[in-house]
A and B are shown apart, each in its own frame.
Chain A
Amino acid sequence: QQQVKQSPQSLIVQKGGISIINCAYENTAFDYFPWYQQFPGKGPALLIAIRPDVSEKKEGRFTISFNKSAKQFSLHIMDSQPGDSATYFCAASNRGVRETSGSRLTFGEGTQLTVNP
């Protein structure tokens, strides 16, 4: 019940296109859903995050869509650029058990995005 399932495993998009990555979860206690971006040889960096009280959050070219009833959320990258080529991880956490788990995150398996010029 702690799993977060992510798809696709890899994605190739042309420059200027839209990249869409999907995640699904089972634990209804999850209440915080971030996306991380990781470049080769680097640690994951927080990209954007959403809480279940909103259905969409947009920051620049990055948008999270959240469907609480379906227990799914997705990352949309508009006008994708070659510099966006990286591995993207969705994650989830239950802030309600903060005393025992803090900000512990459960990660999806990752999506390797390649944006062709």
Chain B
Amino acid sequence: DAGITQSPRYKITETGRQVTLMCHQTWSHSYMFWYRQDLGHGLRLIYYSAAADITDKGEVPDGYVVSRSKTENFPLTLESATRSQTSVYFCATSSASSYNEQFFGPGTRLTVL
């Protein structure tokens, strides 16, 4: 049971490039989330999705795009990466019946040069 996986685990890119971070879950949870983790800030919500084709902005959505065509996948795209987007990105899921309890993936460490 893979649960929730993220790929790649590590990524180095250059400013201005487009980058897509993948998140895949095998639980069929309704809700999926993207967070970024930076020193001194804890985790901040970027975007979330309540179901396929339903997405909403979180606290820090600028510079990011998401889509959710299938329940199990929730990719996060940086359309034109900036150095300030260097961070660790976590995907999380939760079920509709226990929507406040979230399960986290292992994270993707992104460096933008």
Q: Do these two chains really belong together in a complex?
A: no
B interface residue numbers (CB < 8 A to A): none
A interface residue numbers (CB < 8 A to B): none
